[in-house]
Structure 1
Amino acid sequence: MEVSRFLLPKDQVKHIPSSATMMEAMDLLEKNHYSAVPIIDEQGRYVGTLSEGDLLWKLKNTFNFNLEMMSDISLSSIKRYRHNESVVIDADMEDMLTLAADQNFVPVTDHDGVFLGIIRRRDIINYYNDGIMD
């Protein structure tokens, strides 16, 4: 079964532009009670996932950090400590279980890397659970 059946489309997914600042990312995560968010570049391509941990490490490793600095720190300067794999829209669900073990969601792109949406871990688990229970 293709992942497209389980796609939560981009217009329903909170994501952040790669040009955003650290403060904008912190505000988005806090407002939506998220622990991670997809980062999308100016061409709409998925470039990675930003996590709370990435932001915390940036705070720790920035000399003389203060909260006002967050509006001047671009997301591109924040190292992401975990690479969240994306899949293309015509991937099979059978390939998703390994990714779901390490990621809250799996970003979905077209063949040019343009972000289309996500597959949530709970949808992947439910898919496999339903298969076991049948």
Structure 2
Amino acid sequence: MGIKSFQGVRKSTKKEFDAPFLVEDYMTKKLLTFSPEQSILEVMELFAKNHISGGPVIDSNGFLVGIISEADCMKQISESRYFNQPILDKSVERFMTKNVETIDNDISIFDAAGVFYNSNRRRLPVMKNGILVGQISRKDIVIAALKLSGQNYK
């Protein structure tokens, strides 16, 4: 004779995912932005002063037109040595990356991690309806993953 269960029918429970996991939940919203006309020297000083390694470049209308990073500044430093000239007061527009890869604010950090994995970018501007609303970095994704490490993803 088989064993009979006396517990009765169990109610199926679906575990809800209650932790935030979208890019907008972890992105930096207060950004230091740069203009295309700004001096590359000034940008390097701001990088050092604010302990950052890059940021978005926006035009006078507030639209994203590029991104400037320490790597872009290295190009200026390298050219200065090659031509035996001091670092000149050249504009950001000359050295910034113009074809900027962006990410939407409403995608998951898991999808964002995939974007970072498939590119060599350290940071990505975050867009909402074509407007710059923040920036997310690889470090932000790692921090988000640590916060979510105790959750089940379904």
Taking structure 1 as the reference length, the TM-score comes to 0.75
CA contact (8 A) 1:8 1:119 kept: yes
The structure whose residues are more often helix, as a share, is 1
Q: Does the C-alpha gap of structure 1 residues 25 and 95 become closer, same or farther in structure 2, counting only changes over 3 Å?
A: same
Structure-1 separation of matches of 2:59 and 2:101? 16
| 1:48 Cα deviation from its structure 2 partner | 2.7
RMSD: 2.5
Deviation at 1:64, TM superposition (A): 3.9
Aligned match of 2:92: 75
Q: Which has the larger radius of gyration?
A: 2
TM-score normalised by length of structure 2? 0.67
Q: In 1, are the aligned partners of 2:66 and 2:96 still within 8 Å (CA)?
A: no
1 or 2, which has the higher strand percentage? 1
Question: Does 2:79 align with 1:61?
Answer: yes
**CA deviations over 1:26-53 (Å, ceiling 9, x no partner):** 1111111222222122221222321222
- Gaps of at least 5 residues in structure 2 are 1-20
CA offset digits 1:73-125 (Å, max 9, x no partner): 11111154x9652112223323200334443332112222x221112333311
Deviation at 1:132, TM superposition (A): 4.0
Please tell me whether the aligned partners of residues 126 and 132 of structure 2 are also in contact (alpha carbons under 8 angstroms).
yes
Match of 1:94 in 2: 110
> What's the counterpart of residue 120 of structure 1?
137
The answer as to whether partners of 1:18 and 1:75 remain within 8 angstroms in 2 is: yes
Deviations 1:42-76 (A, max 9, x none): 22122232122211212322534213x22xx1111
Q: Which residue of 2 aligns with 1:21?
A: 39
Determine what percentage of the aligned residue pairs are the same residue: 24
Is 1:33 aligned to 2:31, yes or no? no
